[in-house]
Amino acid sequence: MADYTNFSAEQKAEFERRLNIVIAEEEELIFPRFDSETAWDIGHLIIEEGKKRGYKMALRISMGEQILFQYSLPGTKAGNEVWLNRKTRTVYEFGESTEKVGLYHAYMGRDFYETPWIDPFTVTKHGGGFPIRVQNSSAVIGAFAMSGAHGAEHGFIVEMIREFLKTAK
């Protein structure tokens, strides 16, 4: 069992700094609209860039229970599917990115998996799940879930959404 109450002031400040960055990302990355065509277009953008970077990744884009886009690059395994499920579920359950959920619990000095109502087999604190929101609504209408970039998932999804939104209409 990890001790999440024994962080130094510098470590706690770093969690807070990173948490504030993620909060700003979630507030910034809002789609003008989102539908199956949007999922198709951004899904291909993400997969093509993932290939260039050599990621052995799996990607899912969903709206509610409907999967709009899913693709697994060569080198992925069945375990990636489990991570996609957990990351998607976390976004829907918390209404936030998995990165934010993990950082918030660390900042508060709590072990995410020891929270009484958390089922560690269905949700996760690891980055790679990101909420889909559209303009003029605070509701989470969908989720990105990515697995297989070994810790780079959150930053990669944020980068790709930013890139896509530069040209979105």
Tell me, yes or no, whether 1 lies in a domain.
no
- CB neighbour class for 129 (10 Å; exposed up to 12, middle 13-18, buried from 19): buried
Lowest-confidence pick of 1-15, 44-58, 117-131: 1-15
- pLDDT level of residue 114 (50, 70, 90 thresholds): confident
Tell me, yes or no, whether 21 lies in a domain.
yes
pTM (2 d.p.): 0.93
How many domains does the chain fold into?
A: 1
What percent of the chain is predicted at pLDDT more than 90? Answer: 80
Tell me, yes or no, whether 40 lies in a domain.
yes
- The pLDDT of residue 31: 98
CATH number at residue 105: 3.30.450.150
> Does residue 72 surpass a pLDDT of 80?
yes
Tell me, yes or no, whether 2 lies in a domain.
no
- The pLDDT of residue 169: 64
- pLDDT level of residue 4 (50, 70, 90 thresholds): low
